[in-house]
Amino acid sequence: MGQVYSSLLLLIAFLVPLAVASAEQGAPPEGRRLFIEKRCYSCHTIKAEAAAIQKEKEAFAKERGVETKPKGEEDKIGVDLSDIGKRRDADSIRSFVKNPKPYFKTDYECKSKAKKKYRKRFKGTADEMDCLVGYLSGLKYESHQAADFKSCLKEGE
Ligand code: HEC
C-alpha cells in the first residue's frame, strides 16, 4: 500500500511541473498561427519572434501545399509588429484590424498604401479575431523597426 502511495506521489511530482510549464508558455500559439493564416505576414514582420514565425510559415506552407513569400520581402510594405502591444491596446488593435482605412494619412503615397491595406482587412470569425488580437497585444518587445521607416498612419490614432 505504501508503495502504491509513494509511486502516486512520484507521479504527481512529475506531472505538476509539466502542467505549470505548459501554462507558463502563455502567448497563444493559435494567434501566431492566425497571423500566418490570415496573411498578415505578407506585409508585416515580427522580428522579435522571427524564428517562431518562420517555423509557423513553413508548417503552414507544407500543410496547405502553398508557397509563402521569401524571408525579408515583407519589410518593404508594412511595419514590424514586435512592439505593437506597447503602442496600442487590444481595443485599438481590434478596431485597426477591422477597418484600417481611416487610420491612414491621405496624401498620394499613403492613399495607395491604404487602399492595398483596405482590401486585405481582416476576414474571419469573432473567435479568430479575439485570438489574433490577444496575441498581438501581448507583443511588447523592443522596437525592431528600421530607423528610416516612414509611417503612413495619422499621428496618435
Ligand atoms: C497588404 C499589406 C498588409 C497586410 C496583408 C496587412 N497589413 Fe497591417 N498594415 C499595413 C500597412 C501598410 C500598415 C501601416 C504602416 C505604417 O505606415 O505605419 C499596417 C498597419 C498595421 C497595424 C498598425 C501598426 C501601428 O504601427 O500602429 C496593425 C496592428 C496591423 N497592420 C495589423 C495587421 C494584421 C493583424 C494583419 C492580418 C490580418 C495585417 N495587418 C495585414 C499593411 C498590411
Name the residue with the closest Cα to ligand 1, atom 3.
43
CA separation for the pair 124, 128 (Å, rounded):
6
> CA 104, 106, 110 angle in degrees (round to 5)?
65
Q: pLDDT tens, 84-141?
A: 999 999 999 999 999 888 999 999 888 887 777 666 678 899 999 999 999 999 999 9
CA separation for the pair 153, 112 (Å, rounded):
12
pTM of the model: 0.82
For residue 1, pLDDT over 60 is answered with: no
What is the enclosing helix (H) or strand (E) of 55?
A: helix 50-64
88: Cβ below 6 Å to ligand 1?
A: yes
131: Cβ below 6 Å to ligand 1?
A: no
* Grid coordinates given for 9: 506521489
* Grid coordinates given for 117: 491595406
What torsion do the CA atoms of 85, 90, 93, 94 make, to the nearest 10 degrees? 160
Distance 2 CA to ligand 1 centre (A): 61
CA separation for the pair 122, 39 (Å, rounded):
9
Maximum separation of any 2 CA atoms in the chain, in Å: 80
Q: What is the pLDDT of residue 23?
A: 43
More confident residue, 135 or 29: 135
Distance 59 CA to ligand 1 centre (A): 23
CA separation for the pair 45, 64 (Å, rounded):
21
Q: pLDDT tens, 50-100?
A: 999 999 999 999 999 888 766 656 566 778 999 999 999 999 999 999 988
